[in-house]
Chain A
Amino acid sequence: MSAAEKYVAAAYGVFLVFVLFWVVIIATKLSRLERETGELARLARARVAAGEPTDG
């Protein structure tokens, strides 16, 4: 592999790694949102079961 080939591979590789890293961050955030939504749904169901209004 020539020096030019290495630099071209490095530049495109950096971009690819960045996109993959972004996907990991978004996946982590999505998991957190899913967990929090589940917790709030459970809380709302518990309040409905207890006969409390859920609209504040």
Chain B
Amino acid sequence: MRMTKTPLTVLAALVAVLAAVAVAMIFFVAPEDADQGLSQKIFYLHVPIALTAYACFGLAAWKAFRLLTTRGERYDLESYTGVHQGTIFGALTLVTGSIWAKASWGVWWTWSSNQLVLFLVLFLFYCAYFMLRFSLEPGPRRERISAVYALFGVALVPVSFLAIRLASDFIHPTVFTRDGPQMTGEMFAAFCVAWAATTLLAYVMYRVELAGKRTDANLRELREVLAQ
């Protein structure tokens, strides 16, 4: 069954179930980390949110690519909504990461971590997307320029994701290595459920926001027709 055909209520209910299971697994099944103790529990929230932000930017780039190749107008709103969701989850990544940094390293932020700085660059790049988009008149030109920007931005995603592997970074921990996840089976299971819940939540939010924006556009058109 295609996700786009699944009713929103079913998906929203699934998010609620997955979130409840994730919280139970994080706090009652996954053991406490030997190094960081309780503060490591933030990992189950912070990393899925960051991965979801990457996925949203990836989705926005895919929709932008579809717009540029097919000229389908609907892809413009879809790409814009993807960037919007990605930026929201990006902001959440920075906030939860900052709280985790304070709990683990004793500082809210450090400029010496490539992972942190590159994620901030990625976030600011996508913030600039909105400035660019709203500085242009609505129409095909804005759609094309926004799509090109969203498409270029996605190049920063693998750079940000691989930053701690491309350069030696001793501050930000590397949990997923070539040898697999560096955690116990219960921890990994809790992480996977939390990741699924966060991704599905973002998808539900994407669908709701997109429906709102489409209704807005349809209403605007209807108002223009009735005003004639």
Contact = CB atoms under 8 A, between A and B. Distances in A.
B181 interface: no
B96 A11 contact: yes
Interface in A5-49: 5, 7-8, 10-12, 14-15, 18-19, 22, 26, 29-30, 33, 36-37, 40, 43-44, 47
B100 A7 contact: yes
Given A10-B99, A15-B45, A33 B219 contact: yes
Given A4-B39, A37-B219, A40-B222, A15 B99 contact: no
A7 B228 contact: no
- Interface of chain A: mostly helix, strand, loop or mixed: helix
Between B37, B95, B103, the greatest number of chain A beta carbons within 10 A of the residue's beta carbon is seen for B103
Nearest to B89: A18
Given A15-B45, A18-B92, A56-B228, A36 B103 contact: no
A15 B49 CA distance: 10
A33 B226 contact: no
B208 A2 contact: no
Contacts of A26: 208-209, 212
Contact of A8 (B42, B49, B92): B42
A11 B100 contact: yes
A44 B102 CA distance: 58
Contacts of B96: 11, 14-15
Nearest to A8: B41
B223 interface: yes
Between B37, B96, B212, B226, the greatest number of chain A beta carbons within 10 A of the residue's beta carbon is seen for B226
B38 A40 contact: no
Contacts of B186: none
Contacts of B38: 2, 4-5, 8
Interface of A: 2-5, 7-8, 10-12, 14-15, 18-19, 22, 26, 29-30, 33, 36-37, 40, 43-44, 47, 54-56
Interface of B: 37-39, 41-42, 45-46, 49, 88, 92, 95-96, 99-100, 102-103, 201, 205, 208-209, 212, 215-216, 219, 222-223, 225-226, 228
